[in-house]
Structure 1
Amino acid sequence: MNQGTQQTRKPVQQRGIRTKDKILKAAEGLFAEKGFHKTNTKEIAAEAGVATGSVYAYFKDKKSVFLEIYGAASHASFLERACRDIDFSEKTNREAILALLQRLAKEHTLSPGFRREVAAMRASDKDVEAIHARQHDAMRTQLVDTLGRREKALRVTDLDAAAFVILCACEEVMHACSTEAPGMAQNRLLDALADMVARYVFR
């Protein structure tokens, strides 16, 4: 049986969980540094300090590793908790938006190099694009629900379109905070984004 076609397993013991985590961490660093196509499973195993067979024990191939790293970085569940926890009644609309953006920024944990590789892969790999689409749809649904609870204060009428636009803007600014804005402090970018979103959405 070829290593790439053998059945993989989900670790249940701490040793296996630690091994898989080491593989994921090593792979993220290599993908960020060298790119997906210039990285192979032997290099991932060496960087993680495990046998090549250990990589294939948990992942079918290097693409499976890449997809798991990206899929695990979804902000959808975090956005749901943040929207639930932030009390709009105790803050101005802008303050609530800024608080939400600050919490999202803290969760934006993928390295700049890996995010650049995701952007490149989305254009050529339908599985990577599918993960992005699922994450974006889940976040848009959550944002529509959150905005809907403030219906009387809204200026926008098409909540679904507004949520889509907001998420696209947030995604670009979050990326710029760590990759494209040398000398531009994150708090300045988040303040400006909060101003823009609050004025766009609310009366």
Structure 2
Amino acid sequence: MHIDRGSFLMLVSTLSIGAVGGYVSAEKRLFPAIDKWRGRAPEPTAPPVAPEPPKPVAAVETADAAPPPPPAPAAPACDDTTGSPGDCPPPGFPTFEGGCGSFAHTRCNEFKQAFKPKVAQAAVECLTKLTAAQRCDPVRVNLCGHLALTNACPEPESANGADAGSSVVVSTCQAIAQKCGASPIAPSPVECKQLLAGMTEKGRERTSACMKTHCFDRGLVGCEGVAAPR
């Protein structure tokens, strides 16, 4: 039998290629059905990874944003109705013995009656720190009451911004200004309003009465809370 050499070589090449392809298929397991028929388990595959759900916008902002600073504490309200004035200094030696009598003691009690409690407390504390000689000086004694009034709380404001009680304070200051006229020591409206804010109603009445006759010599400093013009 005659076999063509070209046909023979083609047949051999085809068989070789088929054998190689079968080996590759077996190793790579390209046909799961054949693996199952041969009893070979397929290679394990990694389970699919679920994508992470996006964070809500509010959560992202909350996590990234810094916590707000704590609110600042509210400023304490200014209140001169609280306070407790101490005891007044005792009367000094009589004038015929070289003393100044009870001037400082009398003015101290006038401060306690004419000033609001916290303002009176400051005035009395000032008087108790003076020496015996200083308590004989009317200027030093009156300054204790005057300085306490300059540090008094202003008149409280109402919701519409107007001064609550300004009808009394402003009208009293206007009356004092009319009485003083062109006095060089007459208080300004701002000063008068501040000083009267630290007084009780009785103190404002006493001060106004004193200024009727002593605006040019004592001034407001010497008339603050005076019980009776002397």
- The alignment's TM-score, normalised by the length of structure 1, stands at 0.24
Q: Which has the higher helix share?
A: 1
Relative contact order, CA 8 A, sep 6+: which one is greater?
Answer: 1
- The alignment's TM-score, normalised by the length of structure 2, stands at 0.22
